[in-house]
Structures are given as structure tokens and as C-alpha cells.
Amino acid sequence: MSMPPMPFEYQGRDVVARFCAGIFRADRRFDLIPTRANGQPAFGAYLHSPNGISLGTGRYVLTLTLTGDRICAMQR
């Protein structure tokens, strides 16, 4: 998982899972809206705020394996 233009990168399934668990915690509610970016599957993440307004917090672009059944990379 990388987050250009910031120089942050996480490698390995467990490390990425821990990072995502910190963002998508049980006490935070998100809407994940499917979309595409540069021809790749992606989703937008919108955090519900206490005042009821959803705030866009990021876009996640997925790179799939050649067979298309697994995620091999993600950019935020």
C-alpha cells in the first residue's frame, strides 16, 4: 500500500491489514463508494461525522492480480 505523493509505503498483508484496521475502526462509520480510477477498480471513503455530514477522506485504487481475483497493491 502506498500513499503518493507522501513517501509512506506499507508492505505485506498483515502490515496493511493493521494499518487499515486503524483507519476503519469500529467506532468510525464509513461509506465506501465503488468507482474506477485510471481503468482500475477503486473506491471512495466517506466518514460520517457527528453532525450527520459525510466527509470524503480518501480514494483507494486497487491493483489486481492477473487472474483478477486478488488485490496485489493499493494506493491511497
> What 3-state class would DSSP assign to 34?
strand
In a domain, 36, yes or no: yes
Instruction: Return the pLDDT at 19.
Output: 86
Segments of the chain with pLDDT less than 70: none
Provide the CB-side half-sphere exposure for 74 (13 A, CA). 19
Alpha-helix residue ranges (DSSP H) falling in 1-76 = 13-23
Residue 2 lies in a domain: no
What's the pTM value of the predicted model, to 2 decimals?
Answer: 0.78
Range of the structural domain that residue 38 is part of = 13-75
What total of structural domains would you count in the chain? 1
**pLDDT tens track for 8-24:** 888 998 999 998 898 88
pLDDT value at residue 44 = 95
- pLDDT of 22 reads 87
**Backbone Cα Rg of the chain:** 13
| Inside any domain, residue 26 | yes
